[in-house]
Chains A and B, each alone.
Chain A
Amino acid sequence: MSLSAKDKTIVKALWAKISPKTEDIGNEAMSRMLYVYPQTKTYFSHWSDLTPGSAPVRKHGKKVLGGIGLAVEKIDDLFAGLLSLSELHAFQLRVDPANFKILSHNILVVCAMLFPVDFTPEAHLAMDKFLARLALALSDKYR
């Protein structure tokens, strides 16, 4: 399910609205992932505080959304653009790729909450496709 030119335009337009709120959105999405899907907490047992909105969660949410911002810049060649992040996730972090889907779902929920008018069905479609493709690129180096 590759990204059409229209999908890319929509994603970039939506990202222009999202990028000023990277930290808040990252925090919301990560918090919800850890709270609603507690199996995801297993990757963060080294943090002092895994409750929604805590300092480590907020900081990491910002980092993750920053990574997604990078992917938006490299949207024309995600596999090449995310190569080093894919290696990081494959060899060091070893996050089960099933969890990318969970975080993607929560990012969509937060987008819907914060931008109810801009997050039209087409925007929903484009973001869902983009995040799925991003997850695929991120898991490229796994095996």
Chain B
Amino acid sequence: MEFIGQLPPLFLRTIGQTHLAEIHGRRPRRPYLNICPVLKPQDTMVKWTAEERAAIEAVFASLDYESVGRESLTRLLVVYPWTRRYFGGFGNLFNTEAIMANPKVAAHGTVVLQGLEMALEDMDNIKKTYASLSELHSEKLQVDPGNFQLLGDCLTVVIATRMRTEFTPVIQAAWQKFLCVVVAALRRQYN
């Protein structure tokens, strides 16, 4: 095994990465990135096309934050009931009707949407934008980051009910990429 250290780095990179990349035909996988459409692990900065930026802005422009926020959080708590563990102070979350009528759920739904909107201010620095929120969720709230994906999925479903056929595959692609980037930024401070 010692001789490997004596091979020139360029050769190592050639045999190690290029050849395998050709055999496999695509980037290596990591479990949670399977659900993310187009992120490559070796990218240090996410690149957005003009179309993607426009698509994401179009989605936000179409949303009534209060209505969408409330419904998204309601769906999270109904479809994935274990997420109720994080909302002990919200009062009655025992059934769908109670959750839908709960004013704290409604208020918090709006907070979540406003939090997502923060990313739009500087799409090229989403990691930096969410650094303190990431720390909050990991250190203080101690939320299992798998739940971010679940809330993202519920939000996507609600957006689909609002935008309907305007939620085209092109817009959905940009939106899912956006959610992946935000979720990755929120996961970042966990250790």
Contact = CB atoms under 8 A, between A and B. Distances in A.
Interface stretch (A14-22, A58-66, A79-87, A111-119): A111-119
B78 interface: yes
Nearest to A98: B34
Interface stretch (A31-39, A67-75, A134-142): A31-39
Contacts of B173: 35-36
Contacts of A113: 160-161, 163-165, 167
Given A35-B169, A108-B157, A128-B79, 15 more contacts: A36-B37, A36-B172, A38-B38, A39-B26, A105-B153, A109-B156, A109-B167, A112-B158, A112-B160, A116-B160, A116-B162, A119-B161, A121-B75, A121-B96, A121-B99
Contacts of B96: 121-122
Contact of A109 (B31, B35, B71, B172): B172
Interface in A90-141: 98, 101-102, 105, 108-110, 112-114, 116, 119, 121-122, 124-125, 128
A116 B74 contact: no
Contacts of A42: 25-26
Nearest to B164: A113
A52 interface: yes
Contact of A121 (B34, B38, B79, B172): B79
B63 interface: no
Interface residues of A, number: 26
Q: How large is the interface on B (under 10, 10 to 19, 20 to 34, 35 or more residues)?
A: 20 to 34
Contacts of B74: 121
Contacts of B181: none
A109 B152 CA distance: 12
Contacts of B170: 35
A58 B37 CA distance: 22
B75 A124 contact: yes
B176 interface: yes
A102 B74 CA distance: 22
Interface of A: 31-32, 35-39, 42, 52, 98, 101-102, 105, 108-110, 112-114, 116, 119, 121-122, 124-125, 128
A70 B26 CA distance: 34
Interface string B96-115: 10011000000000000000
A36 B78 contact: no
B37 A37 contact: yes
A109 B160 contact: yes
A38 B35 CA distance: 11
A36 B169 contact: yes
Given A32-B169, A36-B173, A36-B176, A125 B79 contact: yes
A52 B169 CA distance: 8
Nearest to A122: B96
Contacts of B165: 113
Interface in B58-84: 71, 74-75, 78-79
A109 B163 CA distance: 11
